[in-house]
Structure 1
Amino acid sequence: MIRYADEIQTALGLDVSQDSVTLFDSVTGQTLTIANETQALTAALDPLRNRDLAVCEATGGHEDKLLAVLCGLAIPVHRGDAARSRPISAPSANAPRPTPSMMPAGSAATPSTAVGLMRWQRLPSLARPNPARPPRLTTRLDLVAMKRQETNRLKAPRGHLVADDIRDHIADLEHRIRTIEVQIEELINQHRDLSSRARALRSIPGVAAVLAPLLIATMPELGSLNRRQAASLAGCAPHPRDSGKLQARRHSSGGRRQIRPALFIAALAAARGKNPLADFYNALVRAGKPKRLALAALMRKIICIANARIRDAANLQPQLT
């Protein structure tokens, strides 16, 4: 994993589009437009290997070539959310602009550069692009949703009128889902870091062939978070809804919507087995907790264990300097 320097003093801001990448260098104050191609990006970024940090925004996959080049050159990189970086460059009483010591005089710093120089201590570093992310995983999730819809249609009062067609469609969807799952498994096995993460996740009771790739693809931050952040990102953290003297019941909400349903199935499987997680669940039930709340607590425990085991697995691998 590429680690940040003890203090970030130089940063690259990179705005990505389909055909080009606009690069701002905080050292020279110059802006450069580069073709969004591996060879052009490598030639432009190779002289900038000594920069402390590069920051770009997620653009639906157009940033993949850039991330691969940055990681190949061992330049620490953070892929951020545009909604969080844009307000930093706008005048605000709560978000100061970069100081003159941070940026060259008269330079037009990009929002990404400002984020890197001002908030680098809270930015998780991206070790390498995640090849298990869409389109394969997204396609599988879409097919599973389509299968659920067809199954519901088959149970409908008039479903018997088109039952044969629906069953054929369900069989085709199941075949395509199995094919994609095999492709995802092969993809994970081809990458040492992904296979290490998968082994760490599958060592947790209840985490099987479906949840492990899902967590690898949708929660690449696992291993770099604390337990509260991991639970919140998975949608398993209870959030307060207090107002004045009202202390309302807290409910788990937010997070990444794809994770929670699969995590619920994993908690059910773990609770029905013979393992420490099942003992944890049964102890909560014996203490008078409703089963629904006990399962929610078990979901939080699973994601916290997953975060810790991926962190420990990453610490055992050789570190790039």
Structure 2
Amino acid sequence: MRTESAEIQSILGLDVSRDTVILCDGRRHTVTIANDADSLRAALLPYQGTATLAVCEATGGHEDTLLGVLLELAIPAHRADPAKVKAYIKSFGKRAKNDPIDARWLSRYGRDRAATLPRWQPVDLTQQKLELLVARRLDLVAMRVQEQNRLKAPRSRLIADNIRDHLAELERHIEALNAEIGALIGESRDLALRAEQLRSVPGVGPVLAPLLLAVIPELGTLNRRQVASLAGVAPHPKDSGKASWHRSTTGGRRQIRPALFIAALAACRGDNPLAVAYKALLKAAKPKRVALTAIMRKIITIANARVRDALPHQNEIMPINA
């Protein structure tokens, strides 16, 4: 739910660190608060019941206690993308940076954009656990690739046994995470339904389906352009005057593109409509890279459509008491 900008009387800029939160209420004066629930509750209590919007940045989890207190006090909050805030500050040509200055900028950012900022909503606990498990799996897979590359290096003979032992340990942890992710999805009616629809898309396997569920929980609520942009496979124009360059796919959530690329390769080697579309693109003299990107875009848009179409009927497919 959003509070209209005309109703908002004050904007709180909250710069979060591990130990402290710097609060700015729109004036130059700032207050330093310990980053614990009791201290934050005492400092924010005067704003309860007022037309206030709190703005903080995503800090990798240090903001969780603050957001929990804001939710408890029913104070609307926006968790800002640090890159957007940084670009906003840069647009004024300012370079000075410390915690109080950041808190003032967050307050100003909220004041200027209050009407368009989405309000933070707590994530479902099951969804949060899935995101953490999938993120950890991605980290371990990246470590495995690093160790495999080290094992191939010409000077690794002396430590080869150590690397192999670490690789075996990583494999055990990855398999354990795969089992835990599968069990978590199986226990949730909503996640199981979404996963089933995703697995029906050519190229989407047991690795990509949980990744999509974790990284793009909005699947099924977006249009095809929005989901392609989130996945980083939307062709953005790059034109100026009479000049027109090739459209490029940039941005999006960085974890998705590599997995979609593997999915597209698998789909193109199978016997399905996506493989037919890929061959048609090659026949039309499209470069393989462009054709594969088009298949990646088709995979994510089909996945989004199938989840969208299944959601209204989930009670019919899976009874509530199942």
TM-score calculated relative to the size of structure 2: 0.69
1:195-210 equivalent positions in 2, closer than 5 A: 198=195, 201-210=198-207
Q: Is the 8 A contact 1:18 1:62 kept in 2?
A: yes
| 3-state SS in 2 of match to 1:79 | strand
1:16 matched to which residue of 2?
16
**Post-superposition offset of 1:174:** 1.0
**Post-superposition offset of 1:173:** 1.6
Q: Is the 8 A contact 1:124 1:221 kept in 2?
A: no
Is 211-220 or 288-297 further displaced after alignment?
211-220
Identity of aligned residues (%): 56
1:112-123 equivalent positions in 2, closer than 5 A: 112-123=106-117
Letter paired with 1:60? G
Is 287-296 or 120-129 further displaced after alignment?
120-129
Q: Is the 8 A contact 1:23 1:32 kept in 2?
A: yes
**C-alpha separation in 1, matches of 2:313 and 2:53:** 24
Is 111-120 or 53-62 further displaced after alignment?
111-120
1:38-117 equivalent positions in 2, closer than 5 A: 38-42=37-41, 45=44, 48=48, 51=51, 53-71=53-71, 75-86=75-86, 88=88, 92=92, 110-117=104-111
Q: Is the 8 A contact 1:132 1:184 kept in 2?
A: no
Does residue 177 of the first structure (1) align with residue 171 of the second (2)?
no
Q: What runs of 5+ residues in structure 1 fail to find an aligned partner?
A: 94-107
Distance 1:224 1:284, change over 3 A: same
2:234 matched to which residue of 1?
237
Q: Is the 8 A contact 2:48 2:73 kept in 1?
A: no
**C-alpha separation in 1, matches of 2:166 and 2:189:** 37
Count of aligned positions: 300
**C-alpha separation in 2, matches of 1:299 and 1:170:** 30
Cα RMSD between the aligned structures? 4.3
Does residue 262 of the first structure (1) align with residue 256 of the second (2)?
no
Q: 1:151 aligns with which of 148, 151, 156?
A: 148
**C-alpha separation in 1, matches of 2:91 and 2:247:** 35
**Post-superposition offset of 1:202:** 4.2
Deviations 1:167-225 (A, max 9, x none): 44322221111123334445566777766765564454333332233334444565665
| 3-state SS in 2 of match to 1:131 | helix
Q: Is the 8 A contact 1:16 1:63 kept in 2?
A: yes
Q: Is the 8 A contact 1:234 1:255 kept in 2?
A: yes
Structure number with higher helix proportion: 2
**C-alpha separation in 2, matches of 1:82 and 1:243:** 29
Distance 1:214 1:110, change over 3 A: farther
Distance 1:82 1:207, change over 3 A: same
1:128 matched to which residue of 2?
122
**C-alpha separation in 2, matches of 1:192 and 1:53:** 34
Deviations 1:132-165 (A, max 9, x none): 4876444422321232233345556677776655
**Post-superposition offset of 1:247:** 4.0
Q: Is the 8 A contact 2:224 2:301 kept in 1?
A: yes
Q: Is the 8 A contact 1:12 1:24 kept in 2?
A: yes
Letter paired with 1:14? L
**Post-superposition offset of 1:264:** 0.8
Distance 1:263 1:51, change over 3 A: farther
**Post-superposition offset of 1:297:** 0.8
1:105 matched to which residue of 2?
none
Does residue 251 of the first structure (1) align with residue 245 of the second (2)?
no
| 3-state SS in 2 of match to 1:60 | coil
Distance 1:112 1:301, change over 3 A: farther
Letter paired with 2:234? A
2:320 matched to which residue of 1?
none
1:96 matched to which residue of 2?
none
